[in-house]
Amino acid sequence: MSHMSLTAAVKDELARVRVDRVSSRKAEVSSTLRFAGGLHIISGRIVIEAELDSAAAARRLRVAIAEVYGHASEIIVVSGGALRKGNRYVVRVVRDGEALARQTGLLDSRGRPVRGLPPQVVSASVNDTVAAWRGAFLAHGSLTEPGRSAALEVTCPGPEAALALVGAARRLGLSAKAREVRGVDRVVVRDGDAIAALLTRMGAHDAVLAWEERRLRREVRGTANRLANFDDANLRRSARAAVAASARVQRAFEILGDEVPEHLVEAGQLRLEHRQASLEELGQLSDPQLTKDAVAGRIRRLLATADKRAAELGVPDTESILTPDMLDL
């Protein structure tokens, strides 16, 4: 799957999904036509054109138009230009354009173009709602790599169509947002679980597995990196700080002997007995309990008292005990 973009892989797979329910096939055709193209009036008659970037999707649309509605269509291949890589496939219905437009709901009963999605698609069953999403994705969908900016997007012909697609997602229990970027309406699904659920519902099972695998790999890599950074920096730093503090407390007790004020003794002894513990944990072990700042304050006063006494006695102070690797923070 790697040689093919995720989007192309999804479309390729969706174009092979078997759909037996006629209502679902109709919903998919309506949606594909609505999102991929439109109605044109050519010398007085209505022509339907749908432009797709997947040959498989174009064939699927053509087969459905023939089997479900009984109309003939042609596929015109437009080769990619300077701006657009890859071919475009235009499915065109000339002879029965108006009949198909009315049957699919692209034209309402008064012959006006529908603004959002056809009403029969909007009020459809869950299966037909899924089919409408599949049609929209085949028409103008894209899927980006998992990660912080992961998104499943559909470019829409207008704001009403975007809102209709958001509503369809909501009926499937998925959250999608409509947004306009530089005059183009889009529907975006950002949540990783929602993307996976939507791909699954539409029938892109292989693509979901590939996408989930990439997503997992990213997450594992991210977690591993975070842990490595955390280990290296924070854990080592706090462990070394605790070891260094314990060594200094030990030296303080040697310097002061019996002259240590009672409340400072307890804090110092806790530090020695629990060399790996955090200041917060030492505070919880104190009786009565102390805040981490109180513990830090007592240990600081113990060390300061000892250092002052060491200066008076002319003996090495508490910092003299520290070895280079304790200081290598």
Average pLDDT over all residues of the chain: 87
Q: What is the CATH number of the domain that holds 169?
A: 3.10.28.10
Decide if 197 is inside a domain: yes
Strand runs (DSSP E) across 182-254, as ranges? 184-189
Lowest mean pLDDT among 64-68, 236-240, 288-292: 236-240
Same domain, 186 and 257: no
**Confidence (pLDDT) at 213:** 83
pLDDT tens-digit map of 244-281: 888 889 889 889 888 888 888 888 988 888 877 788 88
Q: Which two tokens stand for residue 6?
A: 């995720």
Same domain, 199 and 228: no
Decide if 230 is inside a domain: yes
Sheet holding 74-78, edge to edge: 37-42, 45-52, 88-93, 74-78
Same domain, 65 and 194: yes
Decide if 214 is inside a domain: no
The last residue of a domain, from among 203, 233, 268 = 203
Give me the DSSP letters along 136-189. Answer: HHHHHEEEPPSSTT--EEEEESSHHHHHHHHHHHHHTT---EEEEETTEEEEEE
Same domain, 164 and 51: yes
Could you give the percent of the chain with pLDDT greater than 70? 91
pLDDT bracket for residue 329 (50, 70, 90): very low
Lowest mean pLDDT among 13-27, 48-62, 253-267: 253-267
Cα–Cα distance measured from residue 42 to residue 97, given in angstroms and rounded to the nearest whole number: 10
| Paired strand residues for 51 | 90
Same domain, 130 and 259: no
Same domain, 159 and 245: no
CB atoms near residue 260 (< 10 Å) = 18
Same domain, 158 and 279: no
Mean pLDDT of 221-249: 72
Number of folded domains that form the chain: 2
Cα–Cα distance measured from residue 165 to residue 163, given in angstroms and rounded to the nearest whole number: 5
| Higher-confidence position of 70 and 145 | 70
Residue 50's domain comprises: 6-203
Reply yes or no on whether the pLDDT at 2 is more than 90.
no
User: Mapping DSSP to helix (H, G, I), strand (E, B) and coil, where does residue 151 land?
Assistant: coil
| Higher-confidence position of 124 and 34 | 34
